[in-house]
A and B are shown apart, each in its own frame.
Chain A
Amino acid sequence: MNELFGISMTTLMYVLLGIALASMAALGALAFRNRIMLKMGLRPIPRRPGQTILIIVGVMLSTVIMAAAFGTGDTLSFSIRNQAVEGLQQIDETIAPTRVGEGGSFGVAYMSQERLDEILAHLSADENVDGAMPHISERAPVQNKRTQLSEGRMNIVALDPARMAGFGGLALVGGGETRLDDLADDEVYVSESGVEELDARAGDEIVVFLQDRTETFSIKGTLRPGGFAGNQPTMLMTLEQAQALLEPPGPVNTVSVSNVGDARSGADLSEEVTKGLRVLLNDREVAAQLKDLFNQEAVIAAVNKKTAEEGLDADLKDRLTSFAAELQKPGLTDELNSLLADEEARQVVLDQIEEEGIEGLEDAFTLSLSLSDLRVIEIKSNLLESADQAGSQATSFFILFGTFSIAVGILLIFLIFVMLAAARKSEMGMARAVGAKRHHLMMMFAFEGTAYAIVSAAIGVALGLGVSTLMVTALNQIFASTEAGFTFVIRFEPRSIIVAYCLGMTITFATVAVSAYRVSQLNIIVAIRDLPETIIPKIEPTFMERLLGLLKALVLPGYYLFAAARSLVQRRPGQFGKNLLLSVAVIPVWFAPVLIALLRFIQPYLMRGWLVFAGGVVLTYFATARWDSSAWFGAGVSLLIIGLGLMARWGLGWTSMRAGAVNRLSSTLTGGLMLAFWALPLSTFEPIVGELQGGFQVMFVSGAAMVGAAVWTVMYNADLLVRILSALTSRIGRLRPVLVTAVAYPMSSRFRTGLTLAMFALVIFTLIVMSVLTGTFTSQLVEPSKAYMGFDVGGTVNFNSPIGDVDADIEAAPGLSPSDFESVAGFTSVPVELRQGEGEKGRWFSNSGMMLLDDAFLSSAEIDMKIIADGYGPTSKDVLEAMRADPSLAIVGGLALPTDAEIAQAGDDPRLFGDLSYESASMAPISLDVREPQTGIEVSVTVIGVFDRVHTDAFRILGSKSLIDGATQFIIPLTEYRFRLADGVDAKETTNALEAAFLENGMQAEVFAETIEEQNAAGRAFFRLFTGFMALGLLVGVAALGVISTRAVVERRQQIGVLRAIGYKRGMVALSFLLESSFVSLLGTVIGLGLGLLLSYNAVNDINSEAAIGFAFTIPWLQIGVILAITYAFSLLTTFIPARQASRIYPAEALRYE
C-alpha cells in the first residue's frame, strides 16, 4: 500500500515520525530540566497499577482501529501483488496482435513469422531483457479418459523449449524442475489446477476436443501454478506439438518477455522495455500523422487541463505531461511514438479532446487503430499498480468507516485525562499554592500522558494487527465460499506499523496537550477546595492587551532578536544565546503563535456570535454560489446556527433572565436548529441553493453533527429530564432513592456525562446505520429468473468450438430431453462503440457491449420494458416481436442511461441518447451507429425502448443477431445460451447434463439462482465483517462507561459510606451504580437509534433518487435488537465490577476515606 487518501505513505511516515520525534525531543529536554516535575508526573503510574491499566486500555483503542485498517490494507496490497508475481513469475510484458486474425473470425489472431523474427531480434539486443518466449495460447475442452471428468476451457500453452532461458524452469508439484524438450510427441504437462479438475495423475490419457476432431495425450507430470502454467487449468506442450495439433495460421500468437532481475524487480524495467518495443512495432508514418494531428494548441491545452485534475493517478499524470511536452518537440521522438501506442494514455487524450469539443480530429481514432498490428502490455507492472490501488482504497475505506470509532477513541482519551485532572485537582492546586507555575502543571500532566501514549500506542498497534489478522481470516473464508480462488496472505509493512504507531501516539499526545492546558488554567482556591469552576468569573483581556499580543506574535522572531541584543548589552551571554536560538527556532512554527494570538484577538467577537454568524454567511455563500460543495454548505450553515445561538446568549444576557435560563434557551436553540438542519436530507435545500456536490463523507459529517447536536440539547435540558424521571418514579417506592442518586450523579457532572453520552450515541448510531444499510441492500433479493430475463440456467461455450444445432444435440444427448426445456435461446456478446447523430459530427461512445440475440431469445425472453418508443408497444412482447421482424431495431438497458439527477448534474456534457433519462415517461425512436472496434464493422440500429434495471444485462444494448450476420461475410457463432426449464426439472442436474452433453464445445453452465445466492451470501458476509470492524468502536464506548464507573467508585467512596450509614443496603449501592451507567447507555442508545434510523432513511431515499432504484427501507430489527442487547449487557458488565466493589466497602471504612 503506497497511498492513504492520496498522500504517499512514505511522506506520511516521515512527517509523523518527525512530529513524534520532535515532540519527544522537546519533552525530553523539558524533562531533563524539570526532573522534579517528571518525577511527580510519572509517580502515579506504578503506584496505581489498576488505574494505569485502565488508562492504557482506554488510550490504545483508537490506535487499535487505525492499526487494524492499515494491517488490512497492507494485506490486501501484498496479497494481490503476491498473486501477480506468483502468477506471472518471470513474465513482465506480453506482445499480442491488436486485431483479429487473417481468417476474419473473432478468434485468436496470430503474428507473422517476419514480425516474430523482428521482435526476437530486437529483444535479444535489449540489455534490459533476459528472456523472450514466442508461444501459442489457445483454449479447448479436455476430458480425462480414466475418470471421465472434463474441463471445458483448458488453456493450451505451447512454448519453444530452446528459449526457456530467463523464465526459470518448469516447477513440478512434489519438487524438482523439468524441461519441455524431453516431452514425447503425445505427452503434455498439466498444471495443478488442471489435474484437480480432471482428477488426473501422471500417465492418464486426456482427450483434447478440437473443432472437427479429437487428439489424445498422456500426462507426463503436474506443474506447480504460476508462470506459463498460470493459475487456471492449463496444459503445456512444445510449439512443435501445438502447431501439429492446432494447425494455426501463424507461428505464434503471443510473445512473453522477461526483464533482467527477479520476478519482482523485473517490473521496474517495464517502462523502458515497453518503450523500445512500441517504437519498433509502431508504424512510424502513422505515428507521425497522429503527431501532426495532435500538435495543436487546443490539444496541448486540453491535455494540460486533464493533467491538472485532482485525483488523477500519478503515473498517468506523468505520461500525460510527457505527452504534451513531446508533442511540442520537433520531429517524432521515441518517447512520443511509444506514448501514442499507450492505450490508456491515448484514450484519455482522445476523451479529453471530445470533451473539449476540439474539431478536426475525427481521424485520430481510426488512425490510432492502424498504428500497430501488435500491442505491448506491461502486464506485471499493471497488475502491481492495481494491487497498490486496491490496498490503498481498502485502507482508506476502513479508515473512513473507522473514523467514528477513532473519533470516539479520541473522546475517550480526552475523557480519561479530564477525569485524571479532576482526581488530581486538589493536589495540583496545592502544587500551585507552593509556587508551581501553570507550565509546570502542564508539564507534569504531559509527562504522565506521554508515558501512557508511548506504551498504549505500542500495545494498540500490536492488537490492531491482531484484529486485522482476524478480519483477513474472515475475508479468506468469504472468498473461499465464492470460489474466487484467492487467498489473502497476512502482511504488515514496517512503514504502516510506524505510521499507525505515530498516528496513535500523536493523537494521544495532542489530546493530552489540550487537556493539560485546560488543567493548567485552574484556579488555586477552586482546586484546593474542590469548588465548581463557574464560581470564578473569567476576566476578558482588554482590546489593547489582545492587540499587543497579536503584534508580538506577528514580530516574534524580531522580538527574540531584540531580547538577544538586550541581553548582549546587559552582558548576559546565556540569555543572549537562548534568545538568539529562539529567534531562529521559532520561524518554522511561527504560524502557530500568530494563529493563537489572532484567535485570542477575535475571541470576544466570536463569543458574542456576530463574527461566527458573519463567517457562516460568507462560507454558505461560497459553498453554494462558487464551490457547489455540500460539505462546505453544511459547515457554513452550522456556523450560522452557532453564531445565532451565541448572539442569543449574549443578547439575553442583557435582560433580567437568570443565567441558567439564558444558557438553556440559547443552547437549546443552537442544538435544536443544528439537529433539524442536519436531519433534513440535503435535497430539501436544493430548490434554494441548487445542486451540491458531496461524497459519502458528508453522510459521516452529518451523522457526527446530528449526534453532537442531540447530546448538546439533551445535556442543557438534563434537569427537565431528571424532573420527568423523578415524577415517573415517584411511585416506585423503595427503588426511588436509588433512582434519585443514579440520575443526580451523571447530571451533576455534565461535561463528563455529555462526553460519554456522545461517545455511546455515536457508536450506536454507526452500528444502526451499518445494520440498516446492510439490511436494506442485502434484503432486496431479485428473483433470479426475473434478473436473467426469465431463464433458469445459462451456459457459455468456446468461440472456437461453437454448437452447431443446439436443439438437435439436446435431443441426441443422454440425460437430456427437449421436454426438459421450455425454451433454449442463444446470443453472442460483442464490444461495441455507439454514435448518435449525423455523419462525422457525432462522437463515438464506448459501451459495455451488445448482446446479439437469436430468434429463439427474442421470442421467449421475458424483459420488463421501462420505456417503449411510440408505435412499438404497448407490451414487451410487442417490442421483441418488432425486433424479430426488423433486425435493425434494438433496445437499451436502463443502466446505460442516466437518471434525471445525473442529467441535471452532467449539464451540457456530450452524451448518448440526448435528454432521454431512465425516468423519462416516453421516447421517440433513436437512430444509432454501432461499430465493432476490432473489426471496424459498422451498422445502424434504431433504439425503440429501454428495459428495466432489474435485469443483469441492463448496462448493455440488445439487438438481433441477424443484423450483424447481414453485415459481415461470415456467420458469428453463438457463444452463450440460456435455458428456461420445464416445471419440475432439477436445475443442478440439468446443468451437469448440459456440461457433459456439450463437453466438446467447452460448455460451462450455471444455475442462475445459485449465482445470485452466492453473490448475496458474499455480500452479506462482507457487510457483516464490516459491521464487526465498526463494532470495535463499541468496545471504546463500553470501555468509557467502565472507566467512568471505576472512577466514580473511587471519587465517591466517602459518599457511599454516608449512603450506607443512612440505610442503603449493599444491593442498593450496586444498583445505584448500574442504574447510573444504564442511564447514560440507554439515553445514548435512544439518541443513536433514533438518529441512526433517520440518517439511514435519508441515505436510502437519496440513493433511490440518485440511481432510480427502488430499495425498500428495511430495518433489521432482530439484528439491531441483538446489537443493542449485547451493548447494554457489556456496559452493565463493565459497570458491575466497580459497582460490586463499591457495595462491599464497609461504611466506616468508606467514611474514613478522603
Chain B
Amino acid sequence: MNDLIISAQGIEKTYDTGAVRVNALRGIDLDVERGEIVTIMGPSGCGKTTMLNCLSGLDEIDAGRVLIDGAALHDLPDNERSEYRARRMGFVFQLYNLLPVLTAIENVEMPLLVSGVGSSESRKRAAGMLEMVGLADRADHIPGELSGGQRQRVTIARALVNSPAIIWADEPTGDLDSETAEEIVELILDLNRSNGQTFVIVTHSIEVGRIGRRIVKMRDGLIEDDGLGGAHAAGNAGEEAAGQ
C-alpha cells in the first residue's frame, strides 16, 4: 500500500434535523490505492452514500481528515474544492442526474468546460467519450429522449470525460434492469482496465459488488470489514450484504 489515492481517518458525520440526531458516520478509516475498484456495501441507512459524499468532498465532515492524492480536501476553500472536483473526480449517480435541458453531448462536455477546456476541444473529447460508451448516434438527444441505460452511459461518459483520477459512483445500476446493469458493469471494468482509474462504488447489487477487487462492508456508520482480506472474501461479503 504505497500509492494511496484516498486516505481517510476518523471521519465523523452527524445530521441534525431538529427533531432527530443521526450519527451517520461514527469514525471511519479507509485507504484506497490508485487504480483500485472499491465497492462499498451494507444495509440501507448504514451510511454508504454519506461516506461517499464526505470522501469526495460533496459534504462537510464533523471530524477526521480526508487526504486525496495527499491533499487535505476539507481544508480547501469551497472554490478550490470545486475546482479539484472538476479536474480530478467524476461522479455517477443512481438517478443519472443529467441536466434535462442539455443534449447528451452538452452534458458530457460540461465538466470540460467547467475546467476551462476550450469549446471545440471539449466538443471533440465529449464526442469521443460518447462513442466509447456507444452513444455516438444519440449525442444530440436530450435525456428525456433516452432510455435508462443510455442515460447512465451518458452519466458515465460525463464522469470520465475529464480523465479524472477517481470516479465516485452511487448505485450506478440501481435504476436499471439486470441486462443493462450488466452492460454498465462491463463498461466500468473495461474503463478501469484501459485507463487505470480508481473507482469507489456504493451499491446494493451483488453483481456490481463482485467487480470490486475489494469490498468494504458498512453497518451503523462504521466500517465492519475494510475488504483487505482479499478478493475471495469480498465475493462472499458482497452476497451477504446484498442479502440484507
Contact = CB atoms under 8 A, between A and B. Distances in A.
Interface of A: 531-532, 730-731, 733-734, 736-737, 740-741, 744-745, 747-748, 1054-1055, 1057-1068, 1146-1149, 1151
B122 to A, nearest CB: 9
A1060 B58 contact: yes
A744 B58 contact: no
A531 B60 CA distance: 34
Q: Interface majority SS on A: helix, strand, loop or mixed?
A: helix
B111 A1062 contact: yes
Contact of A1063 (B60, B85, B102): B85
Contact of A1151 (B97, B98, B106, B111): B97
Contacts of B101: 741, 744-745, 747-748
A1151 B93 contact: yes
Interface string B81-115: 01101110011010101111110001000110111
A1067 B58 contact: no
B83 A1065 contact: yes
Contacts of A731: 119
Contacts of B158: 1062
Interface in B105-147: 106, 110-111, 113-116, 118-120, 144
Interface string B54-65: 101011100000
A1086 to B, nearest CB: 23
B99 A741 contact: yes
B113 A737 contact: yes
A948 B179 CA distance: 91
B78 A1066 contact: yes
Contacts of A1067: 79
Contacts of B79: 1065-1067
A1064 B83 CA distance: 8
Contacts of A747: 101
Contacts of B56: 1061
Contacts, number: 94
Contacts of A1149: 59
A270 B110 CA distance: 82
Nearest to A1150: B58
A988 to B, nearest CB: 67
A1058 B89 CA distance: 13
A1147 B78 CA distance: 11
A748 B114 CA distance: 21
> What are the 4 tightest A-B residue pairs by CB atom distance, in nearest-first order?
A1063-B86, A1148-B59, A748-B101, A1148-B53
Most buried by A among B59, B60, B114, B120: B114
Contact of A532 (B53, B99, B115, B144): B144
A723 to B, nearest CB: 12
Contacts of B116: 733-734
A1063 B76 CA distance: 14
A1061 B91 contact: yes
Nearest to B120: A730
Contacts of B58: 1057, 1060-1061, 1146-1148, 1151
Nearest to B170: A1151
5 contacts: A741-B101, A1055-B99, A1066-B78, A1151-B53, A1151-B58
Contacts of B98: 1058
Given A1146-B60, A1147-B59, A1063 B114 contact: yes
Interface in B217-243: none
B97 A1055 contact: yes
Contacts of A741: 99, 101-102
Contacts of B53: 1147-1148, 1151
A990 B58 CA distance: 83
A734 B118 CA distance: 9
Contacts of B59: 1146-1149
Contact of B113 (A736, A1057, A1151): A736
Nearest to A732: B119
Nearest to B114: A1063
A1065 B90 CA distance: 15
Contacts of B119: 730-731, 736
Contacts of A1054: 95, 97
Contacts of A748: 100-101
A740 B79 CA distance: 20
Nearest to B115: A1063
Contacts of B85: 1061-1063
Contact of A1064 (B50, B95, B106, B114): B114
Contacts of B83: 1063, 1065
Contacts of B90: 1062
Given A737-B113, A740-B106, A747-B101, 16 more contacts: A532-B144, A731-B119, A740-B110, A741-B101, A1055-B100, A1057-B97, A1058-B98, A1060-B82, A1061-B58, A1062-B85, A1062-B86, A1063-B87, A1064-B86, A1146-B60, A1148-B54, A1151-B93
A737 B114 contact: yes
Nearest to A726: B119
B105 to A, nearest CB: 11
Given A736-B119, A1146-B58, A1148-B53, A1059 B99 contact: yes
A335 to B, nearest CB: 77
A737 B116 CA distance: 9
Contacts of B54: 1148
Contacts of A1058: 91, 93, 97-99
Given A741-B102, A1147-B58, A1065 B97 contact: no
B116 to A, nearest CB: 5
A1063 B99 contact: no
Contacts of B82: 1060, 1063-1066
A58 B14 CA distance: 39
A734 B158 CA distance: 18
Interface string B200-227: 0000000000000000000000000000
B91 A1062 contact: yes
A744 B78 CA distance: 26
B97 A1063 contact: no
A1097 to B, nearest CB: 38
B102 A1062 contact: no
A990 B114 CA distance: 76
B243 to A, nearest CB: 26
Contacts of B87: 1063
A748 B99 CA distance: 11
A1058 B170 CA distance: 13
Contacts of A1055: 97, 99-100
B23 to A, nearest CB: 16
B26 to A, nearest CB: 18
A721 to B, nearest CB: 15
Most B-side CB within 10 Å, residue of A1061, A1066, A1067, A1149: A1061
A1080 to B, nearest CB: 15
B78 A737 contact: no
Contacts of B60: 1146
